[in-house]
């Protein structure tokens, strides 16, 4: 009997449904090749368009279904013209992170040599690191709490022992897992600004405490400004990076830039009991409905989901499917004749996903 997983699917707004449909098709194709696992997709309404029609951005029933699901696959939510009465944008994905306590934002940066990256790589310079962004506190904790007077604005950064301990344990375990599988060098770098702020000295101290429990991994420290420099000058030195929310927000876009743009940047937001997988980009309302959106980041996020479910449930076939899906995307992404418009090609979303399906068939 296959192990069945329920996936809560949030298609969301803008290009969301356009990139989600071919991604679900690829997942269907993969699961048909095995009797070890199966996936049931549960489409959940939420987002700016849903809010515009119903007055609710994340209905309670969708939240329940997300909580009950084995994993959550999300495309993109939010539209610039649809806002709450206070003027802020509709972003149920942030609400999901809060309610499900998804403290670890995982942003893999894997740079395929070729035309996409702005870096000039020598033959042996492989870039494959993971940036982990704390996703529930840091400076973002202040969202909606900041104080603004006529003369002064203040926002407060928050670092707690409880969340940092979970974050660092997660990060060290990921470094160990990568090292075991021959993917990483067994190094983890805590990125902070401990030379200036007490909160970051505290963050670093908690990192060092966790390091004591992971003797097989080398724990380093780096300041965030130097890290930005090195991500451009010598990104191949990194394996796992772990950092505060705001620093992670900025560095993950730099990582996406190294890969060749947001169109190739997947992500996962992971907690102790739940996980959301979604592309780093937004709903791209300027191209919604045109059928030209790049589906790569969405497909790579689905690959991360397969890897997470497979690893947690001891299903090697699922982990293998994840690798095949990822390799298929990278194979297509370096071929100018098969890429979508944002990567310089002329292919539609559906045609691009079709090339990924063809590449996948070669790996099967
Ligand atoms: P958010 O704040 O929700 O991240 P945003 O407004 O910063 O959203 P996006 O929605 O990501 O940004 O869009 C930024 C630009 O990138 C737009 O020009 C958009 O068309 C383009 N873009 C984003 N995602 C894709 C995609 N998958 N395929 C093609 N172009 C994309």
pLDDT the model gives residue 113: 72
Domain boundaries, the chain: 1-100+273-364, 104-264
pLDDT, one tens digit per residue, over 25-57 is 999 999 999 999 999 999 999 999 999 999 999
pLDDT the model gives residue 364: 74
Task: Please tell me the distance between residue 281's alpha carbon and the centre of ligand 1 in angstroms.
Answer: 5
- Name the band, by pLDDT with cuts 50, 70 and 90, for residue 176: very high
Residue nearest to atom 16 of ligand 1 (CA): 284
Rounded distance between C-alpha atoms, residue 305 and residue 75, angstroms: 13
Question: Whole-model pTM?
Answer: 0.93
> What's the CA angle centered on 247, arms 245 and 81, to 5 degrees?
70
With CA atoms as reference, report the closest residue to 17 among 265, 334, 283: 283
Rounded distance between C-alpha atoms, residue 269 and residue 256, angstroms: 16
pLDDT, one tens digit per residue, over 195-254 is 999 999 999 999 999 999 999 999 999 999 999 999 999 999 999 999 999 999 999 999
Rounded distance between C-alpha atoms, residue 208 and residue 211, angstroms: 5
Residue nearest to atom 27 of ligand 1 (CA): 294
Kindly give, in sequence order, each residue whose CB lies less than 8 Å from that of residue 167, ignoring residues fewer than 6 positions away: 103, 104, 132, 134, 242
Specify the residue for token string 């592309």. 279
Q: Is the pLDDT at 124 greater than 80, yes or no? A: no
pLDDT the model gives residue 138: 96
Specify the residue for token string 């033959």. 123
Residues framing ligand 1 (Cβ under 6 A): 15, 78, 262-263, 281-284, 286-287, 293-294, 342
Where residue 14 falls (left for φ over 0; alpha for ψ -120 to 50; beta otherwise) is: left
pLDDT the model gives residue 117: 86
Tokens matching residue 107: 């942003």
- CATH class, range 1-100+273-364: alpha beta
Residue nearest to atom 20 of ligand 1 (CA): 284
Q: Is the pLDDT at 319 greater than 90, yes or no? A: yes
Residue 37: beta bridge partners? 3
Mean model confidence pLDDT for the chain = 95
- CA dihedral of residues 325, 326, 331, 332 (deg, nearest 10): 70
- Name the band, by pLDDT with cuts 50, 70 and 90, for residue 260: confident
- Name the band, by pLDDT with cuts 50, 70 and 90, for residue 151: very high
- CATH class, range 104-264: alpha beta
pLDDT the model gives residue 215: 95
Q: Ligand 1 pocket check: which of 19, 249, 284 to mutate, most ligand atoms within 8 Å of Cβ?
A: 284
Task: Please tell me the distance between residue 206's alpha carbon and the centre of ligand 1 in angstroms.
Answer: 36
Question: H-type helices in 40-122, by residue range?
Answer: 48-54, 60-68, 92-99
Q: Is the pLDDT at 102 greater than 80, yes or no? A: yes
- CA dihedral of residues 164, 170, 175, 179 (deg, nearest 10): 160
Query: Across residues 301-330, what is the average pLDDT?
Result: 96
Same fold, 1-100+273-364 and 104-264: yes
pLDDT the model gives residue 309: 97
| Count of CB atoms situated within 10 Å of the CB of 35 | 10
pLDDT the model gives residue 41: 98
Tokens matching residue 269: 């937001």
Rounded distance between C-alpha atoms, residue 90 and residue 49, angstroms: 9
Rounded distance between C-alpha atoms, residue 240 and residue 130, angstroms: 5
Rounded distance between C-alpha atoms, residue 145 and residue 243, angstroms: 22
Chain centroid to CA 97:
12
- CA dihedral of residues 256, 260, 264, 266 (deg, nearest 10): -10
> What's the CA angle centered on 55, arms 52 and 58, to 5 degrees?
95
Rounded distance between C-alpha atoms, residue 286 and residue 263, angstroms: 15
pLDDT the model gives residue 111: 87
pLDDT the model gives residue 289: 97
pLDDT the model gives residue 37: 97
Question: H-type helices in 74-223, by residue range?
Answer: 92-99, 161-180, 198-211
- Name the band, by pLDDT with cuts 50, 70 and 90, for residue 3: very high
Residue 154: beta bridge partners? 147
pLDDT the model gives residue 86: 83
Which atom of ligand 1 is nearest the CA belonging to 280? 4
CB under 8 Å, gap of 24 or more: what pairs does 155-163 form? 157/197, 157/199, 157/244, 157/246, 158/199, 159/199, 159/200, 159/202, 159/203, 159/206, 159/244, 161/206, 163/103, 163/134, 163/136, 163/137
Kindly give, in sequence order, each residue whose CB lies less than 8 Å from that of residue 40, ignoring residues fewer than 6 positions away: 4, 5, 6, 7
Residue nearest to atom 2 of ligand 1 (CA): 282
Task: Please tell me the distance between residue 248's alpha carbon and the centre of ligand 1 in angstroms.
Answer: 19
């Amino acid at each position: 009997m296959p192990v069945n997983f329920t996936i809560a699917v949030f298609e969301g707004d803008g290009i969301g449904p356009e990139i989600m449909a071919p991604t679900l098709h690829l997942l269907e194709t993969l699961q048909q090749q095995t009797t070890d696992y199966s996936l049931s997709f549960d489409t959940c309404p939420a987002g700016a368009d849903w809010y515009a029609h119903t007055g609710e951005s994340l209905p309670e029933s969708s939240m329940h279904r997300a909580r009950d699901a084995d994993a959550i696959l999300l495309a993109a939510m939010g539209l610039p013209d649809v806002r709450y009465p206070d003027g802020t944008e509709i972003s149920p994905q942030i609400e999901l992170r809060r309610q499900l306590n998804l403290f670890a934002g995982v942003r893999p940066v894997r740079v395929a040599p070729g035309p996409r990256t702005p870096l000039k790589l020598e033959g042996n310079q492989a870039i494959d690191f993971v940036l982990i962004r704390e996703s529930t506190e840091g400076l973002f904790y202040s969202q909606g709490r900041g104080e603004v007077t006529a003369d002064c604005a203040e926002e407060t950064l928050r670092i707690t022992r409880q969340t940092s301990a979970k974050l660092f344990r997660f990060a060290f375990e990921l470094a160990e897992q990568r090292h075991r599988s021959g993917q990483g060098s067994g190094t983890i770098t805590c990125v902070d600004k401990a030379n200036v702020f007490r909160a970051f000295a505290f963050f670093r101290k908690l990192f060092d405490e966790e390091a004591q429990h992971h003797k097989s991994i080398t724990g380093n420290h780096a300041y965030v400004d130097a890290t930005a420099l090195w991500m451009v000058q010598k990104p191949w030195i990194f394996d796992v990076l772990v950092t505060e929310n705001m620093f992670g927000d900025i560095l993950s876009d730099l990582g996406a830039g190294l890969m060749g743009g947001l169109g190739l940047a997947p992500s996962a937001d992971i907690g102790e009991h739940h996980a959301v997988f979604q592309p780093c980009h937004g709903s791209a309302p300027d191209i919604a409905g045109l059928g030209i959106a790049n589906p790569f980041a969405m497909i790579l996020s689905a690959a991360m989901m397969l890897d997470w479910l497979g690893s947690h449930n001891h299903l090697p076939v699922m982990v293998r499917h994840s690798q095949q899906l990822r390799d298929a995307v990278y194979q297509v992404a370096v071929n100018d004749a098969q890429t979508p418009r944002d990567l310089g090609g002329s292919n539609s979303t559906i045609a691009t996903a079709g090339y990924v399906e063809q590449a996948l068939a070669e790996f099967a």
